[in-house]
Amino acid sequence: MAKLYFYYSSMNAGKSTTLLQADFNYRERGMQTMLWTAALDDREEEGWIHSRIGLKKKAHLFEKETDMLVAISMQHEDTTLDCVLIDEAQFLTKDQVFQVALVADQLRIPVLAYGLRTDFQAALFPGSAQLLAIADELVELKAVCECGSKSTMNMRVDEEGNPVLAGQQTAIGGNELYVALCRKHFMEKLNG
Ligand SMILES: Nc1ncnc2c1ncn2[C@@H]1O[C@H](COP(=O)(O)OP(=O)(O)O)[C@@H](O)[C@H]1O
Ligand SMILES: Cc1cn([C@H]2C[C@H](O)[C@@H](COP(=O)(O)O)O2)c(=O)[nH]c1=O
Ligand SMILES: [Zn+2]
């Protein structure tokens, strides 16, 4: 049975690095992979998965309208796939999570999805909510808060480093816009 995996964490926990490492591992054994990332993440070159330690790899882009099952099936007919790897999986829609579940169940290709659990207001992203609900395996990746505890939350900050309390769920950025914190420090900073 092929499984749907959800590797989740705060920002800066090494999700993209781990994804690229898993991809390398498949490929060094002569296996074929298909990489995906969110079209709306325009931090680096469009269509590439970048990790903060400098690894990068070209990827397919998913948009809200992308039918993941159709796109992956077409690729699989062309080149038999051994694994599908998805970065920024928090930005998948609910329907797309069901589509990648069908990739595992019907096409029998393992799907490894990597994403944030929660947003800057401690709410689940739609993709993460659905992955937490239906993935076969949930794996937490760990980053460290300034206090040394595990960071599970993401605080959005302004130019002065003050917490941002309200805004759109999606705001693409990196260390200039977000700080990964443990829950205790997230709550303390948010409550002033
Ligand atoms: N120059 C560096 N050398 C080694 N590790 C680094 C470097 N820069 C960043 N990192 C580490 O890389 C990790 C972030 O990797 P990344 O895959 O981009 O995370 P994520 O996708 O979860 O946001 C952090 O643990 C960070 O400390
Ligand atoms: C917390 C939070 C994050 N985002 C965005 C910011 C980044 O572009 C990605 C996460 O990137 P990672 O380093 O690969 O984990 O998500 C957002 O849009 N809204 C949020 O609340
Ligand atoms: Zn802390």
> Could you tell me if residue 104 is inside a domain?
yes
Question: Which residues participate in catalysis according to the annotation?
Answer: 88
The reply to whether 109 falls in a domain is yes
- The DSSP annotation for 34-61 comes to EEEEETT--SSSTTEEE-TTS-EEE-EE
In a domain, 153, yes or no: no
Which residue CA neighbors atom 2 of ligand 2 most closely?
119
pLDDT at 51: 85
Express each pLDDT in 62-97 by its tens digit: 999 999 999 999 999 999 999 999 999 999 999 999
Kindly report, residue by residue over 146-179, the tens digit of the pLDDT: 999 999 999 999 999 999 999 999 999 999 999 9
Question: For residue 41, what pLDDT is reported?
Answer: 76
Best residue for ligand 2 mutational test, from 37, 172, 176, 181 (most atoms within 8 Å of Cβ): 172
- CATH number, domain at 56? 3.40.50.300
Q: pLDDT by residue (tens digit) across 116-149?
A: 999 999 999 999 999 999 999 999 999 999 999 9
Cα(45)–Cα(188) distance, integer angstroms: 36
Residue 87 is assigned to a structural domain of this protein: yes
- Residue 42: the pLDDT is 73
CB 154 less than 6 A from any atom of ligand 1: no
ipTM rounded to 2 decimals: 0.92
- Where in the sequence is the domain holding 107, given as residue range(s)? 4-142
Domain count, the chain: 1
Residue 190 within a domain: no
